[in-house]
Amino acid sequence: MSKEATKVKRCKWAQNVCDLYRDYHDNQWGIPVYDDPTLFEMLLLESFHTGLSWLLILRKRENFRKAFDEFDPEKIALYGEEKIEELMGNEKIVRNRKKIEGAIANAKAVLKIKKEFGSFSQYIWGFTNHKIIKHTGGEVPTKTPLSDSIAKDMKQRGMKFLGSITVYSYLQAVGIVNDHEKECFCYIDMEEKN
């Protein structure tokens, strides 16, 4: 880690961490995402993140990309038993049958949502009327009434491994919720952009 990297004010969780984690904080976490492919990628990764370290998921991200057909929900929705067994044998990803089956269910649900709303982006951003929820200081929650509501709706649509805590983490990751601390340079950048 370079001395320059440690001089920049970041969120506490992103100070004095490995380059991969810091790069994720600086260049992705909390930055609004509106395109369906990235929104689905993060949804899949967050569902595998449940109960595990986010750093582990980041380290395996490219392996997930290859294993899950570049995060294409149209392809993932068609996965059958043969593909599930192939994924279960892939040591480069998280091998959890229920999460793999959940990814397939989530891909199918996302395709239905796209038909109903025009895009997954319209659906997910619609929960906040297309506005970014900004951190106001104090403790960052692990879930909120917003994440409760979205998780409930997602479950009703057949999604799996997306409880309120995982959904809140997802909202942070895709920038619907900007939980950068006020002292963090990313929070300041977001203020200037909005």
Catalytic residue among 46, 79, 123, 170: 46
High-pLDDT (> 90) share of the chain, %: 81
Instruction: Tell me which of 13, 21, 34, 54 is the catalytic residue.
Output: 54
Domain boundaries defined on the chain: 3-193
Largest CA distance in the chain: 50
- Check if 46 is active-site: yes
In this predicted model, what pLDDT tens digit does every residue of 157-179 receive, in sequence order? 999 999 999 999 999 999 999 99
Verify whether residue 79 is a known catalytic residue.
Answer: no
For the entire predicted model, the pTM comes to 0.92
Instruction: List the chain residues with pLDDT less than 70.
Output: 1-6, 188-194
Work out the burial of residue 97: count CB atoms within 10 Å of its CB; fewer than 13 is exposed, 13-18 middle, 19 or more buried.
exposed
Which CATH number is 3-193 given? 1.10.340.30
